[in-house]
Structure 1
Amino acid sequence: MTPPPEAPAPTAPTASTAPTAPTAAHRRARLAAGAAFFVQGLLFITLTTRLPQIQDRWSLDELAVSGLLLMVVLLAGVGSVVAEVVAGRSSSAVVVRLGLIVATLGFGTLLLAPAFPVFVAGLAAYGVGLGLVDASSNMQAVTVEHLYRRPILPSFHAFWTAGGIVATLVTLATSGVALGAALLPLLLLPVAALAAPFVTRDRLAPTGESLDVPWRRIMLLGIAMVLFYMVDTAATTWGPVYLDGTLGAPSGLTALATLPYLVATLIARGIGDGLVHRYGAVWLLRICGVVASLSLAVIVFAPTWVVAVAGFTVLGGAVATIAPLSFSAAGAVAGGEGLDDVRRIERVDQVVARFNQFNYVGALLGAVLTGAVGSENLRLGFAVPMVLILGIIPLASQFAIIRRRVDAAAPV
């Protein structure tokens, strides 16, 4: 099909104006989506690296923390469902901004809470905001990937990791400072992200047509998502507690369970686009499954906290590309053939919002199950993902569609 005459670039691209080759507007949209990922990682890792401090402040044990994390995960799932509804009636750009507002207000509340019920209320609001931003930022990322016509999801998730690294560095630098004084300035970043030029789409007139989505195939990709978030949430949530309570790391260094993990994740995601383009996702994910299980074994049997940190570091690099490739594959399946850009984005938004629910199933396994099984000894808790992550090996064949998209796409 011959593309329409080129018009002046809008502030943010829309489905009806999107050409095949990326424009400056598409690059700005890519950075905007990256900013949403960055803020999401910043707030989430800020929370998890402060869990030992939160435990001390409110006198919580591991089971109580597991209960609070369960609440956050369930409410994030609610936020993801709301994201699908709102995006269908407007666009994922609206949902991103709504989620940033809710998450910021909730996070500020939990930091300044004068009493435990207020803390719980703030944490609940943050959970809903987390789900809104999580689902909509991935909608944005998959849409921009389709505009680019090549896999770029790992680089979006690298923004999330970069936000987590900043959060971890702040935690290390302010370990002895009160929560509010140390972290409230960080909330300026999600407020600033509200002005980012997120991708929009034209509104469609109702047609009464149901979207024909191959959910069975997407379910298999979703299992891979569950496995990743099981490992990732276990590492980022319980890693600092594991170093502190089980291995006796110095109190100011417990965030080192997270920092090397995130640095390795960032490096792997930074080079992930190129690895997938050259070798394909199937080969990459099979290697990742084996290395991830071995690194978790190092963590489970670590004699000292230094050895455990080494295990967390390798683990971060091993699992880094599973989530972005899962979203990329789901987006490829959802995009289908013979759809115009507007219909494609509509279907991708719906699929990504529902696909994002697998995130929270994995988070339940990683945060809640790891804490519950490891309530007496977190070594047992980390043994759960050590075994289950091997499931990524037989699932890797489902990701061959990403390589086919690379082969069929014109390099940009």
Structure 2
Amino acid sequence: MTVRAESSSLLRSRLAAGTAFFVQGLLFISLTTRLPQVQEKWSLDELAVSGLLLMVVLLAGVGSVVAEVVAARSSSAVVVRVGLVVAAVGFAVLLVAPAFGVFVAGLAAYGLALGLVDASSNMQAVTVEHLYRRPILPSFHAFWTAGGILGTLVTLATSSVELGPALLPLLVLPLAALAAPFVRRDRLAESDATVDVPWRKIALLGIAMVLFYMVDTAATTWGPVYLGGTLDAPSGLTALATLPYLVATLLARAVGDRLVDRHGAVWLLRISGVVAALSLAVIVFAPSWVVAVVGFTVLGGAVATIAPLSFSAAGAIAGGEDADTAGERIDKIDQVVARFNQFNYVGALLGAVLTGAVGSDNLRLGFAVPMILILGIIPLAAQFAIIRRRGVAAGSH
């Protein structure tokens, strides 16, 4: 294969994986931004909604485990396509459900698909990054954020549309994504050799993932409630806790590849920890909702690269520091990524539960929890030295 053909093939694989991230973000945010409609349609109280969200998170964890098993027997390309189909079916069922039990069944199917696509799309991203031999994970997660922004804008534009069949056109994208040229296992050499994975190192990276998703879930779940309930923002503007946060996240992830390439992941994550803590302090002590929105916006940019760099570092450890032999360990990389994805849901539960429980009387106290804990990123940053910079040997920075 010529250099130009190889480059074109890599680009197609990169865009394919990015498409999976985009669709995942679109569907997830389209659902979460319509939770008030779900609550109203089925006459649910806050406890019932929390129970449904807990079901989704737990089933997503199951889906991530299933992704590991299926990917080992076939490939992550198969898993991501299966996940997209299940997500589309589940989403369609919950939209057209004639009874609450049917709605719950559709939501359950979507939760399972959430884990399947989360794990397999990150497997695809880590594999493509190894083929590129330089850090590009932040740009993949930027696709997710772009999908989330589109989902938010669609919800705002169709706020008067009831939860139902009118929203089925959203499913065109996940079905169209099935045709994307996801990277196949035969692109990489396979080996029957048993490879020991340093799970302790990966667990330390997982703590960073937990910290990120704790902050991310707290911001996206409780941010609008904080603006409206604690800071008396106009009801039509409470979404400003989420939209600017997502936009800042997208911008930071879009330039994240270049920042890592230039300064290294360790430097970037130490800066992220400091800025994130300061922006959360702005949120906690905000005298008005306008100031809090500024804090949420800066927070989105500060924490944006933690999750993608965590996956990148975990993949680098699983694949070995020698990029030339990483392809021989693709099975182990997929296994590590699938298991590593579980930290996502631990962080999401902590973000929703800890912030809400501590802030049950005053959400300022609730946001003080991630304000303190996110500082843990600073000492953990040293674990990310394995991430390869273009032209720099792994671990040398």
Q: Distance in 2 between matches of 1:397 and 1:36?
A: 30
Mapping 1:9-408, distance limit 5 Å: 23-180=7-164, 183-202=167-186, 207=192, 209-336=193-320, 340=325, 342-403=327-388, 407-408=392-393
Q: Deviations over 1:49-100 (max 9, x none)?
A: 2223333333434333322222111110100000000000000000000111
Q: Structure 1 158/205 Cα, relative in aligned 2: closer, same or farther at 3 Å?
A: closer
Q: Distance in 2 between matches of 1:162 and 1:89?
A: 32
How many residues get paired? Answer: 392
Q: Distance in 2 between matches of 1:353 and 1:405?
A: 26
Q: Structure 1 365/405 Cα, relative in aligned 2: closer, same or farther at 3 Å?
A: farther
Q: Deviations over 1:318-361 (max 9, x none)?
A: 00000011011111111115674542221111111111111111
Helix, strand or coil for the counterpart of 2:185? coil
Q: Structure 1 319/369 Cα, relative in aligned 2: closer, same or farther at 3 Å?
A: same
Please say if residues 319 and 326 of structure 2, whose CA atoms lie closer than 8 Å, have aligned partners that are also in contact.
Answer: no
With 147-156 and 295-304 compared, the bigger mean Cα shift is at 295-304
Helix, strand or coil for the counterpart of 2:44? coil
TM-score by length of 2: 0.92
Helix, strand or coil for the counterpart of 1:231? helix
Please say if residues 49 and 258 of structure 1, whose CA atoms lie closer than 8 Å, have aligned partners that are also in contact.
Answer: no
Please say if residues 48 and 236 of structure 1, whose CA atoms lie closer than 8 Å, have aligned partners that are also in contact.
Answer: no
Q: Distance in 1 between matches of 2:190 and 2:320?
A: 20
Q: Distance in 1 between matches of 2:99 and 2:359?
A: 28
Q: Structure 1 180/364 Cα, relative in aligned 2: closer, same or farther at 3 Å?
A: same
Q: Distance in 2 between matches of 1:204 and 1:407?
A: 24
Please say if residues 289 and 318 of structure 1, whose CA atoms lie closer than 8 Å, have aligned partners that are also in contact.
Answer: yes
Q: Structure 1 205/292 Cα, relative in aligned 2: closer, same or farther at 3 Å?
A: closer
Q: Distance in 2 between matches of 1:151 and 1:38?
A: 19
Identity rate, percent? 82
Q: Distance in 2 between matches of 1:87 and 1:69?
A: 26
TM-score by length of 1: 0.89
For structure 2, the residue ranges without an aligned partner over 5 or more in a row are none
Q: Deviations over 1:233-269 (max 9, x none)?
A: 2212222333344434333333222110011001101
Question: Deviation of residue 291 (structure 1)?
Answer: 1.3
Q: Structure 1 103/29 Cα, relative in aligned 2: closer, same or farther at 3 Å?
A: same
Helix, strand or coil for the counterpart of 1:194? helix
Q: Distance in 2 between matches of 1:344 and 1:337?
A: 11
Letter in 2 for 1:142: V
Letter in 2 for 1:219: A
Q: Structure 1 180/406 Cα, relative in aligned 2: closer, same or farther at 3 Å?
A: farther
Helix, strand or coil for the counterpart of 2:159? coil
Q: Which residue of 2 aligns with 1:19?
A: none
Letter in 2 for 1:50: R
Aligned CA-pair RMSD: 2.3
